[in-house]
Chain A
């Protein structure tokens, strides 16, 4: 049981490049979410999903796309990277969206130059 896994751990992109951050969980959790963590800002919700085929925007969705074709996977796509997207990204999952603890992945540190 690996929990929540994220790849890559580190990534450097040039402005305008696109990439996908991968997130997978093996706990059969319905709810998955992506956060970004910036100094002084805490964790901010980017996008979330309450089940396969269902996604919605969080607090800071601009510049990011998500899809949820399976229960296990919830990739985050950066369409055209900008320096403002330099951050640490965390994926999390929970049993449902209602009142259960979230399990976090190890994070991806992204730098956009």
Chain B
């Protein structure tokens, strides 16, 4: 079983603050790293799929970076808004044999943005 760790587990910020959180994954046999946003009572929705070391992706106020050599990805939210409140999941896809078809999820970072 692959180890995908997310930190912190939860985070409270004020509206307008910028914030970031971390996803750590195995640094060998990397294929892809996914980020999902999961609002309460809804389904996870994809934010980014990152495949290359040094990748940076951006969607509005949310951006992500990837370091496959050291096995981590950062998700940044600039100027947090209450509607950004959600659990942010990362998921790792390995490039080793049969596990290439499996996505291993971290337990998520729960972000609460206070107005």
How close is B18's CB to chain A, nearest CB, in angstroms?
25
Which residues of B lie under 8 Å from residue A33 when comparing CB positions? 103
Instruction: Give complex CA distance A42, B106 in Å.
Output: 6
Known contacts A59-B1, A106-B43; A43 and B101 CB within 8 A of each other = no
User: Is B43 in contact with A90, judged by CB distance below 8 angstroms?
Assistant: yes
Residue B25 CB within 8 A of the other chain = no
Residue A40 CB within 8 A of the other chain = yes
Instruction: Give complex CA distance A33, B44 in Å.
Output: 14
User: Is B106 in contact with A101, judged by CB distance below 8 angstroms?
Assistant: no
Number of interface residues of A (CB under 8 A): 26
User: Is B105 in contact with A43, judged by CB distance below 8 angstroms?
Assistant: yes
User: Is B31 in contact with A98, judged by CB distance below 8 angstroms?
Assistant: yes
Known contacts A42-B89, A90-B43; A99 and B31 CB within 8 A of each other = yes
User: Which of B1, B46, B105, B107 touches A101 (beta carbons < 8 Å)?
Assistant: B46
Scan residues 31-52 of chain B and give those whose CB is less than 8 A from a CB of chain A.
31-32, 34, 36, 42-46, 49, 51
Interface flags, B81-106, vs A, CB<8A=1, else 0: 00000000101010000101111111
* Chain B residues within CB distance 8 Å of chain A: 1, 31-32, 34, 36, 42-46, 49, 51, 89, 91, 93, 98, 100-108
